[in-house]
Amino acid sequence: MNIDFTRIIPRIPYLLQGVQVTLTIALVAALIGSVLGFIISLITSKKGLLGRVLFLFVDFFRGTPLYFQLFFYHYGLPQVIPGFLPTAYHSAFVIFSINSAAYLSEIFRAGIQSIDKGQIEAAKALNISTWDIVTGIIIPIGAKNVLPAIINEFITLIKETSVAAVISVNEIMRRHTIVAGTTFRAFESLIIVGLIYYTLTKTLSIAGKVVERKLRYDLR
Amino acid sequence: MIYVNQLNKHFKESHVLQDVSITFDPHITYAIIGSSGSGKSTLLRCLNGLETPSSGEIKIDDINIFESKDNLAKARSNMGMVFQNFNLFEHKTAIENVMFALIKVKKLSHDEAFKTASTALDKVGLSHRYNNYPHQLSGGEKQRVSIARTLAMSPQLVLFDEPTSALDPEMTIEVLKVIKNLVKDGLKCILVTHEMSFAKEVADMIVFMDQGKILEITPSEQFFTQPVSTRAVQFLSHTQFKGETQGKKHYS
């Protein structure tokens, strides 16, 4: 068998530097996506014109591939908007954020709907403000109910950042292409890349389990 | 005084409250009774704005509670509510359930809130349950926490919405005993209940409702011996309310 890691080993630090890029995109998208997704979920939870418009928006981002969305923003829009020339990072941050906002808003919406209305009524009867109801009741109870789905979404996000390679963001997969192209050692490089991705997602899922255990007041 | 004027409430096709008018004197305890679907819970829920009536108005003294958010908040600050399904905050312990509104609404410090909350929990006999979560409490205990949560806010009036309907007979006794003691100590309330003997003992006035209308408002001794409306006579015979002896046995 033609396997030889000796030419890949010096390139491992280069591949590992991609972790920082991957995680930066994932983290920014997770943060912005969470805030944006939460606001969207609050609006789409209620009936109303804005809610319906936002739902269409969410539906579009869930109904088209991320690959398409990146291309559309990065290569499509500059053609019709004069002077709009986003950098690869700019496009990645925007599209990954909006895309995860769309998925997260649906998860949050399910979380809000999972809360028994009686508890919100009790809070209203006690004259508790809407802000305190959201932060003190809806978020903590909803978070417990949907945490596994949120962690799942973050794991998906980490994996999907690999798509950013197509608009030449210098993340792990793009670095692999470069390494494989210069060393002609694709298999060895891919083994390393696979291990990196698996380590990242596994770490996140273990962290998620720990947080979940902390949030499960019903198991105390 | 709470003035309810020409209140109507529609839920889709059904007309749940039909031109309901009544004046509640805050110095008197009322029991609203009637068969299921008579609109009694809806009327109660309109009083603190959990339901918005389709038409009509509710004034507390001269404040129209549906006129603005401030008015509603003012009304709610003097009015507590206890629900059929307890509605405890599931992620908070008993004491945290009571403390939450004290901190957020009354702006008490953590220590002050703890003190007030523990007094309220002690009053309903739960001094040993401070740190239990709702899922660790029995139905009767949950309802007592919810009563404590309401009392801690020192409301002038408490609305009880079928407080024992989700409880088994034994727990019903335990909760009714708590409410009875509170009323004896001067708490004013409006209760919606199916417990006839309890209503008879605790309430000064009985409001009898049927099919979205108030049929009579009668002092309680009179209601259970000589109700005015024929529907009430029929209702009382169906609920098998047969005077004091059986009633006493039921809850004391």
Asked if residue B187 is part of any domain, the answer here is: no
User: CA of B214 to nearest chain A CA: how many angstroms apart?
Assistant: 24
| Angle separating helix axes B139-151 and B169-184, nearest 10 degrees | 20
The residue extents of the domains of chain A are 10-219
Residue A19: the pLDDT is 95
Please compute Rg for chain A using Cα positions: 21
On chain A, the residues whose CB falls within 8 A of the CB of B104 are 128-129, 132, 136
Cβ atoms within 10 Å, residue B15: 15
Structure tokens at A162: 């690999």
Residues of A in contact with B76 (CB under 8 A): 124-127
Question: Residue B240: what pLDDT?
Answer: 61
Please report which confidence band the pLDDT of residue A45 belongs to, taking 50, 70 and 90 as the band edges.
confident
- Which amino acid, residue A150? I
Domain of B50, in residue numbers? 1-21+42-77
Chain B residues within 8 A of A133 when measuring between CB atoms: none
Task: Give the model confidence (pLDDT) of A69-103 as tens digits.
Answer: 999 999 999 999 999 999 999 999 999 999 999 99
pLDDT tens digits along B34-75: 988 899 999 999 999 999 999 999 999 889 999 999 999 999
pLDDT for res B149 = 97
* Separation in Å, CA of A134 to nearest CA in chain B: 13
Region B17-35: mean pLDDT is: 93
Total number of domains constituting chain B: 3
Split at pLDDT 50, 70, 90, the class of B248 is very low
Q: Confirm if B79 and B158 have CB atoms less than 8 A apart.
A: yes
pLDDT of B174 over the 60 cut: yes
pLDDT band at B19 (very low <50, low <70, confident <90, very high): very high
* Nearest chain A residue to B50, by CA: A121
Percentage of residues in chain A having pLDDT higher than 90: 82
Nearest CA in chain A to B107: A128
Interchain contact A113–B (C-beta under 8 A): no
Contact B163, B151 (CB under 8 A): no
Most confident range (mean pLDDT) of A89-98, A205-214, B230-239, B241-250 is A89-98
List the one residue out of B120, B105, B102, B114 whose CA is nearest residue B187. Answer: B120
- Can you tell me the mean pLDDT for B201-209? 94
Instruction: Tell me how close the Cα of B177 comes to any Cα of chain A, in angstroms.
Output: 22
The span from the CA of B221 to the CA of B205, in Å, is 9
Residue B243 domain-assigned (yes or no): yes
How many CB atoms are closer than 10 A to CB A73? 19
Residue A163's Cβ-side half-sphere holds a number of Cα atoms within 13 Å equal to 20
Q: Which of A123, A128, A141 sits opposite B91 (nearest CB)?
A: A141
Spatial CB neighbours of A86, under 8 Å, sequence gap ≥ 6: A73, A74, A77, A78, A94
Residue A25 has pLDDT above 60, yes or no: yes
Task: Kindly report the CATH number assigned to the domain that includes residue B73.
Answer: 3.40.50.300
Contact B135 A218 (CB under 8 A): yes
Whether the per-residue pLDDT at B245 is higher than 80: the answer is: no
Q: Band of the pLDDT at B77, cuts 50, 70, 90?
A: very high
Q: What is the mean pLDDT of residues B79-89?
A: 96
B201 lies in some domain = yes
CATH superfamily for domain A10-219: MetI-like (1.10.3720.10)
Check whether B244 has a pLDDT greater than 70. no
Question: DSSP 3-state assignment of A57?
Answer: helix
Q: Output B84-87 pairs: Cβ under 8 A, ≥24 positions apart.
A: B84/B161, B84/B162, B84/B163, B84/B165, B84/B166, B85/A118, B85/B166, B86/A118, B86/B134, B86/B139, B86/B142, B86/B143, B86/B145, B86/B146, B86/B166, B87/A116, B87/A118, B87/A119, B87/A121, B87/A122, B87/B146
ipTM for this prediction = 0.89
Q: Using an 8 Å CB-CB cutoff, list chain B residues near A217.
A: 90-91, 133
Is position B206 within any domain? Answer: yes
Are B66 and B118 part of one and the same domain? no
Task: Clarify whether residues B46 and B107 are in a common domain.
Answer: no
Is the torsion defined by CA of A59, A67, A205, A136 positive or negative? Answer: negative
The strand order across the sheet containing B188-192 reads B79-82, B157-161, B188-192, B30-33, B205-210, B213-219
My answer on whether B95 and B54 are in the same domain is: no
**Worst-scoring range by mean pLDDT, A2-6, A23-27, A82-86?**
A2-6
Instruction: Tell whether the model's pLDDT for residue A216 goes beyond 90.
Output: no
Taking CA atoms, B35 is separated from B193, B194, B210, in Å, by 10, 8, 7
Residue at B106 is within a domain: yes
Nearest CA to B252 out of B164, B155, B145, B178 is that of B178
- Assigned domain for B179 exists: no
Q: Assess whether B204 and B166 both reside in one domain.
A: no
In a domain, B119, yes or no: yes
CA B169 to chain CA centroid, Å, is 19
Cross-chain Cβ contact B89/A132 below 8 Å: no
Interface contact A46, partner B, CB < 8 A: no
Residue A50: CB atoms within 10 A of its CB come to 11
Cα angle B158, B160, B162; round to 5? 180
Q: Which of A125-129, B78-82, B229-233 has the lowest mean pLDDT?
A: B229-233
Examine the pLDDT at B101 and tell me if it is beyond 90: yes
Instruction: Name, in order, each residue with C-beta under 8 angstroms of B191's C-beta and a sequence gap of 6 or more.
Output: B29, B30, B31, B32, B159, B160, B163, B179, B199, B202, B203
pLDDT of amino acid B241: 57
Q: Is residue B184 part of a domain?
A: no
| A118 contacts B85? CB cut-off 8 A | yes
- Mean pLDDT for A47-64 is 92
- Closest CA of chain B from A108, distance in Å: 18
